[in-house]
Amino acid sequence: MAQRLLEFLQRERPAALVETGSHVGDEIAVVHREHLVDVLTLLRDHADTKMNMLSDLTVVDYLGQQPRFEVVYQLYSIPHKHRLRIKVRIGDAQDECWVPTATGLWHAANWSEREAWDLYGVRFDGHPDLRRILMYEEFVGHPLRKDYPQNARQPLLRRPDAPATDDQTTRLLPDSHDRRVS
């Protein structure tokens, strides 16, 4: 059934696909970054696909390979009950490590993209509020990258160059009298 989805993509957006495949019953399509939002929009809105749920979004770090990161979107369609995995491969250079945001398509992308940024350091271009979500603001580095040691310890220390966790309270009201005197 989901094989039909891959055929659908090959028919509708042949230029966007890098490769397609399936493994243990899961269908996977790897797309180019510049076509990502186009493909996601098509899958969400087309009557044959209707992927109205972004089930999950995550990143896999293939350290030592090029391109290094793979951003993985798990899409699900409630009306058609089918599932598809979309992947984008990106490099780890500063100007390469980004993908366009999907927050305009699903609300679910907001927090999951923040998590991907927090833990993997992949930037989501156009995200309205890209900041850390699980780690604290003072944290240095991105812990789920394979080159971040598993047993590293980072105590919470104030850094002059980063916003403090406490400043989060005043985010909502920039000129509030509650703002701490720095």
Partner 1 sequence: MSAPTPTAPTAKSVAHTVAETYDPHTGRQAGEMPLSPSLQQFADEAERLPTDELILNMGPSHPAMHGTVRVVLRVDGETIKDADVQIGYLHRGFEKESEGATYTQIFPYVDRLNYVSPMLNNVGFAMAVEKLLGITAQIPERAEYIRVIVGEISRVCDHLTCITASLAELGGLTAFFWGNRAREHLWELLEDVSGARMTHSYCRIGGVAWDLTRDFDEKVRGKFVKVRGLITDIRKLVERNRIFLDRMQGVGTISADDALSYGFTGPCLRACGVAYDVRKDHPYSVYDHFDFEIPVADAGDNLARYLVRIEEMEQSLRIVEQALVQIPPGAVIVDDPLIALPAKREVYNSIEGMIAHFKHIMDGLRVPPGEAYSFTEGGNGELGFYIVADGSGRPYKNRCRPPCFYITAALRQMILGTNLADVVPIFGSINMIGGECDR
Q: List residues near partner 1 by CB under 8 A.
A: 23-26, 52-56, 58, 60-61, 72, 74, 78, 81, 83, 85, 106-108, 110-112, 115, 119, 132-136, 143-144, 148, 150, 168-173, 176-178
User: How many CB atoms sit inside 10 A of residue 76's CB?
Assistant: 15
Q: How far is the CB of 95 from partner 1 (least distance, A)?
A: 25
Residues 6+ apart with CB under 8 A from 104: 37, 126
Task: Answer for the pair 91, 66: CB distance below 8 angstroms, yes or no.
Answer: yes
Q: How far is the CB of 20 from partner 1 (least distance, A)?
A: 14
Residue 36 vs 86, nearer CB to partner 1: 86
Residue 157 vs 172, nearer CB to partner 1: 172
Nearest to 143 by CA among 167, 124, 116, 108: 116
Residue 41 vs 58, nearer CB to partner 1: 58
Instruction: For the chain, list the strands marked E by DSSP.
Output: 17-23, 26-31, 53-61, 69-76, 83-90, 98-100, 123-125
Task: Answer for the pair 16, 39: CB distance below 8 angstroms, yes or no.
Answer: yes
Residue 34 vs 141, nearer CB to partner 1: 141
Tokens read off for 120: 């993997």
Q: How far is the CB of 73 from partner 1 (least distance, A)?
A: 11
Q: How far is the CB of 42 from partner 1 (least distance, A)?
A: 17
